[in-house]
Amino acid sequence: MIPLILIAKKDEEIKSFLKNYIVNNNFTRDRIFEIYPLKNEILISQIREIRKELMISSSLQRLFIIYNFDKATMEAQNAFLKSLEEGASKNQFLLTVENQHLLQQTIRSRSNLLNLRKPEYNPKNNDKDILFLKKLAGSTNFSFLSDPTLERVSREEAINFINTLILYYRSKLIQNPKYAAVLKRALSLKSLLESNNLNPQLCVDNLLIFIFKTFRMKE
């Protein structure tokens, strides 16, 4: 499987993602291997231990989590590339980093990068999204799905948009109990988006269609 590079500054962001990821992918404790830095570094000896484990045949997929991989020595990173060639197809590697640019370009190019850093909500930076949500409230058909705001949404943009949507509808919760259903759906999709390789564009479209249908249902 394609390795995941998890970019985060806070431990709780990583812990939250890993908890959901392990549950959603049915990894049991005996198939999870965690590697932490020794003396503030990931050493080549630790990667060699991973390679030894990869040599043991397993019918079930294993999960290797290497914490603070941006602290890996160049020798360890080179050895990790070799490990990918030997066991990536049957195993999942998760690398946590604070600065992905400290990793070799070859490792980054062979991995999916997932930014777990929670965006700070700034109303001035979300005016466009607020205007779109107001427009959605007055929509009578699905033409809102072709709005330029929604074109080629990246994972990070999708999460930012859902965060804005949650804050927007939470402020209106007292006006209509249906907003509770919208918030529940938004939080659920956001969690799935953060912990799985969901298509961000389809995720946003799914949420907006749900909102449209929710408020077009007869009382």
pLDDT exceeds 60 at position 120: no
- Spell out the residues 6+ positions from residue 88 whose beta carbon is closer than 8 angstroms to its own: 1, 2, 3
Q: Kindly state the percentage of the chain with pLDDT values over 90.
A: 31
Distance in angstroms (rounded) separating the CA atoms of residues 87 and 54: 6
Distance in angstroms (rounded) separating the CA atoms of residues 111 and 109: 6
- Spell out the residues 6+ positions from residue 12 whose beta carbon is closer than 8 angstroms to its own: none
Q: Indicate the SS3 state at residue 103.
A: coil
**pLDDT tens readout for residues 181-217:** 889 899 888 888 877 778 888 899 999 999 888 887 5
